Amino acid sequence: MSQMVSMAELAELMSSDVRILDVRWSLGQPDRRADYLEGHIPGAVYVDLESELSRPGRPDEGRHPLPSTEQVQDAARSWGINDGDVVVAYDDAGGLPAARAWWLLRQGGVDVRVLDGGWAAWLAAGGDVETGSAEYTRGSVTLQDVAGRSLTIDEAAQFPASGVLLDVRAPERYRGEVEPMDPIAGHIPGAVNLPTTAHLAEDGTLRDLDELRRNFAAVGVLDGTPVAAYCGSGITAAHTALVLAEAGIDAKLFHGSWSQWSNTPGRPIATGE
């Protein structure tokens, strides 16, 4: 089953019963509720990535520590989600923030997908825009362990010995030439670089699946290859996991990512290619 939905597929889902999540977010502007209130896909509820898809934590837990199953379940119920509901998440950043919601809800057992092209695709297609806030009766969904297929820092350290650990940050951050967010530049020893932006076309939609599979194969990711991904704080790596799932490859996620690794004393640092 595809992890993505097109505009046409979302329109069809909206004719029945679907929960739509607006997960607009960016590093420079994490709270996008004002944008949501100004206009969103009809029926969508606003999701706060910082407080509902993450939790506060220590520096050595990374910038976006994984929330508990109970936290995500409580948020999902506040969005009106019930067991068996189809959920579609979208954003305006190529699907990266929406992929965080996809990852957590998918691990919890929800049928969740991401709108290909997101908010821009909706507007470009002339989709209706709703203002204000959508409210639903509190749902009763029960989630499984949302930490499933997430790696601890020790598991991430060992992963390159048995599979491919993807660093999905920009190449210059991977090489250790610049580091705008974290205390030390570089990458986890043994990791290979494949920026998550390489998966996206100029309009923010996913590239052709055959092209995506070729890109993965070029860094050693083939059918049956154990693969895990990390980024700066666990957000964009979820998008790479989404793309891998769309290509038929199941991945794990090091959710602490470089922000946890670089804030943990004694961890080795690699630089260069």
List the catalytic residues.
231
Q: Which residues pair with 270 in a beta bridge?
A: 187
Cα dihedral sign for 71, 73, 79, 80?
negative
Tokens, residue 133: 């806030």
Amino acid residing at 93:
A
CB crowding 54-66: b at 16 or more within 10 Å, else e? beeeeebbbbbbb
The count of C-alpha atoms lying within 13 angstroms of the C-alpha of 76, restricted to the half-sphere facing its C-beta, is: 32
CB atoms within 10 A of CB 132: 10
Tokens, residue 263: 């804030």
CB atoms within 10 A of CB 223: 10
Q: How far apart are CA 183 and CA 27, in angstroms?
A: 17
Using a 10 angstrom Cβ sphere, with 0-12 exposed, 13-18 middle and 19 or more buried, the burial of residue 1 is exposed
CA–CA–CA angle 109, 234, 202 (5° rounding): 95
